[in-house]
């Protein structure tokens, strides 16, 4: 489990508007890659093209290639539904299904496509996924309660449990801690460190300390001005990006002298 | 600039507050007063019929014997209408909210809203003059081929003016109500939940089953109840379409009657105890509608914990 992603010359458009220009990047398997940059620089947009979630927005399209272990996600005949079942996603705000119990939330992805699963297998999977998301001890006595009754941080870990229950190759996280308090954030960061043993993790974050703490490699995105496309400025080992970046813009941003 | 004392507030703003809260309170009280007034009127006027000796009531066997066949007839017509209209309405609403391209969706939504604006007498005329005639051969076929079922027992009506035709006309009438309410609810589904489902690898239909329908469930129930309210109380269309008669299980023979149509057809020439009987029938209809709404409320609140409101 876990595959690498290679992006070649990717342009992302909303209608005629070029939102992200000419990104090429190689994301290693079983590592944590962080995308940082100012608001509106296209890092979230770019993240969403990695599992074709940008297609939810009418008019969004891409040019270029995204290769998952060599298979082009945008090749002819590729089903976005199949892509998303291999590349899971965790969102900015926790979004467990409010009408489902904690247990059903974890199983939501597994039960898709009419897959049948016995109760015993389901129990094992629920426990494994919730343990994998460091949530098991907190919820094991109330699995039949609604997921929306948990705290924000617990809900976000429930969403991670839901994502890993389908055993994806890659997990994308779009600012997963931005709605959480520092303690919940710490819990998620610890979890990310454990997840990379099994999965390829890509995380978008506004918090540079977070990028420095959790990621192996960091990509810095920037935008020249309003209405201009976002670009990948620099990509390298997290240590290098934060201590000795090549580009002036990167150094300004990571040292807080941006803008 | 001097500090404003905490104890005084500016006169104009405070007066506006008072006027507004007073107006809102008055409006709220008015609704209750109207409802109470109607209920009181129905009860007072119905008492003579409810207490009269059995042989004075139409049919000669007391009020209960008079009312129950038309209660059943009312329910049959309303149930037919909902069974036909609900799935179609939800399908149309989903198509408009989640499947149709934006340009088509707004046009279609407008047409559906327009359907609700057609007066019921027009639907009644259409049902009586066109639909009944066209559908009569189908009733003949049903009687020939499925006559074993009590609801399709022959001989079929040759005019087509049956309770099933009335139910179909009612279905067309409640369709726009259920559709437009459901569509509004579907459009309010949080993007967050739709994306959660899609990101797990759900197809569009699976996303709808996972995120949209559970979220919309209470709204759909409310929409269906509003539709049911209209179907139960609809008068003109039923009066025009249905060739009424005694209660019968077969939906394709003439016969059956609904409370609303019974009242409308008989009220102009009624006098004395007969007026009282019809008003008592109205009271029964009022109670049925009230009961239906309370059941709907109960169904909705039963699942409150999982509604996402917490």
Taking the CA of residue A98 and the nearest CA in chain B, the distance in Å comes to: 4
Give the residues across from A10 on adjacent strands. Answer: A23
* Residue B19 clears pLDDT 90, i.e. is over it: yes
Give residue B309's pLDDT band: very low, low, confident or very high (50, 70, 90).
very low
Tokens 């049925």 map to which residue?
B288
Mean pLDDT of A75-89: 92
Tokens 């997963």 map to which residue?
A176
Cα B215 to chain center, whole Å? Answer: 22
**Which two tokens mark B66?**
């008079």
> Considering chain A, what percentage of its residues have pLDDT values greater than 90?
68
Residue in B closest to A172 by C-alpha? B199
Number of residues written out for chain A: 259
* Residue B310 clears pLDDT 60, i.e. is over it: no
Give contacts of A96 with chain B, Cβ < 8 Å: 196
Non-local (6+) Cβ contacts of A126 within 8 A are A103, A106, A107, A143, A165
For an interface test with A, give the residue of B97, B185, B195, B200 to mutate (most A CBs within 10 A): B200
What value does the mean pLDDT of chain A take?
90
State the ipTM, two decimals.
Answer: 0.89
End-to-end CA distance of chain A: 41
* Residue B303 clears pLDDT 70, i.e. is over it: no
User: Which A residues 36-75 touch B at CB under 8 Å?
Assistant: 51, 53, 56, 58
pLDDT score at B1: 56
Cβ distance of B199 and A82 shorter than 8 Å: no
**Which two tokens mark B90?**
């939800």
Q: pTM of the entire structure?
A: 0.82
Give the residues across from A222 on adjacent strands. Answer: A231
- Please answer whether residues A216 and A200 qualify as being in contact, where contact means their C-beta atoms are separated by less than 8 angstroms: no
pLDDT score at A104: 92
φ, ψ (nearest 5 deg) of residue B263: -65, -50
CB of A247 within 8 Å of a chain B CB? The answer is no
Q: What is the 3-state secondary structure (H, E, C) of A14-31?
A: ECCEEEEEEEEEEECCCC
The string of pLDDT tens digits covering residues A110-141 is 888 667 888 888 999 999 999 988 899 999 99
The string of pLDDT tens digits covering residues A4-37 is 999 999 999 998 999 999 999 999 999 999 999 9
Where is A172: in which H helix or E strand?
strand A170-174
Beta strand A87-90 with A5-14: parallel, antiparallel or unpaired?
A: unpaired
Non-local (6+) Cβ contacts of A77 within 8 A are none
CB of A206 within 8 Å of a chain B CB? The answer is no
Lowest mean pLDDT among A45-54, A177-186, B5-14, B226-235: B5-14
CATH 1.10.3720.10 fits B52-304, yes or no: yes
* Residue B8 clears pLDDT 90, i.e. is over it: no
Cβ burial of A180 (10 Å; 0-12, 13-18, 19+) is buried
> Considering chain B, what percentage of its residues have pLDDT values greater than 70?
94
């Amino acid at each position: 489990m876990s595959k690498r992603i290679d992006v070649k010359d990717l342009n992302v458009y909303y209608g005629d508007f070029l939102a992200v220009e000419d990104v090429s990047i190689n994301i290693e398997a079983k590592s944590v890659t962080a995308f940082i940059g100012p608001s509106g620089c296209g890092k979230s947009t770019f993240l969403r093209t990695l599992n074709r979630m940008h297609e939810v927005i009418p008019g969004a399209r891409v040019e270029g290639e995204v290769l998952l272990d060599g298979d082009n996600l945008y090749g002819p005949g590729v089903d976005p539904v199949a892509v998303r079942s291999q590349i899971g996603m965790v969102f900015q705000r926790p979004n467990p299904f409010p009408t489902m119990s904690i247990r059903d939330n974890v199983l939501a992805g597994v039960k898709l496509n009419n897959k049948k699963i016995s109760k015993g297998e389901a129990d094992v999977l629920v426990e494994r996924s919730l343990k994998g998301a460091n949530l098991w001890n907190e919820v094991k006595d109330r699995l039949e309660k609604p997921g929306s009754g948990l705290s924000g941080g617990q809900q976000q870990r429930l969403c991670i449990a839901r994502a890993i229950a389908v055993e994806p190759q890659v997990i994308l996280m779009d600012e997963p801690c931005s709605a959480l308090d520092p303690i919940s954030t710490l819990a998620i960061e610890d979890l990310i460190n454990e997840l990379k043993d099994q999965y390829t993790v890509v995380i978008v974050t506004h918090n540079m300390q977070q990028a420095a703490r959790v990621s192996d490699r960091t990509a810095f995105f920037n935008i020249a001005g309003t209405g201009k496309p976002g670009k990948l400025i620099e990509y390298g080992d997290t240590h290098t990006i934060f201590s000795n970046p090549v580009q002036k813009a990167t150094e300004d941003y990571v040292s807080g002298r941006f803008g | 600039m001097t500090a404003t004392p905490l104890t005084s507030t500016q006169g104009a703003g405070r007066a506006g507050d008072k006027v507004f809260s007073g107006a809102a309170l008055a409006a709220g009280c008015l609704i209750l007063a109207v409802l109470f007034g109607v209920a009181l009127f129905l009860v007072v006027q119905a008492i003579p019929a409810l207490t009269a000796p059995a042989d004075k009531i139409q049919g000669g066997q007391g009020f209960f014997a008079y009312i129950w066949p038309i209660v059943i007839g009312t329910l049959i017509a309303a149930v037919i209408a909902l069974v036909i209209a609900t799935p179609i309405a939800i399908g149309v609403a989903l198509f408009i909210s989640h499947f149709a391209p934006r340009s088509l969706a707004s046009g279609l939504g407008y047409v559906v809203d327009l359907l609700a604006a057609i007066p019921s007498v027009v639907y009644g005329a259409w049902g009586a003059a066109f639909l009944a005639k066209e559908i009569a051969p189908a009733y003949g076929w049903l009687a020939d081929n499925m006559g074993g079922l009590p609801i399709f027992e022959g001989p079929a009506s040759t005019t087509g003016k049956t309770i099933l035709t009335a139910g179909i006309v009612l279905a067309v009438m409640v369709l726009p109500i259920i559709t437009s309410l459901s569509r509004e609810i579907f459009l309010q589904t949080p993007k967050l939940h739709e994306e959660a489902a899609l990101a797990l690898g759900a197809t569009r239909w699976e996303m709808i089953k996972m995120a949209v329908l559970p979220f919309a469930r209470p709204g759909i129930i409310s929409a269906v109840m509003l539709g049911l309210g209209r179907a139960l109380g609809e008068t003109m269309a039923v009066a025009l379409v249905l060739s009424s008669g005694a209660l019968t299980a077969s939906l394709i023979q003439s016969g059956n009657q609904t409370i609303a149509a019974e009242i409308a057809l008989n009220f102009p020439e009624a006098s004395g105890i007969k007026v009282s009987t019809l008003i008592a029938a109205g009271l029964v209809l009022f109670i049925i509608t009230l009961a239906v709404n309370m059941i709907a409320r109960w169904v909705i609140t039963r699942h409150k914990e999982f509604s996402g409101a917490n």
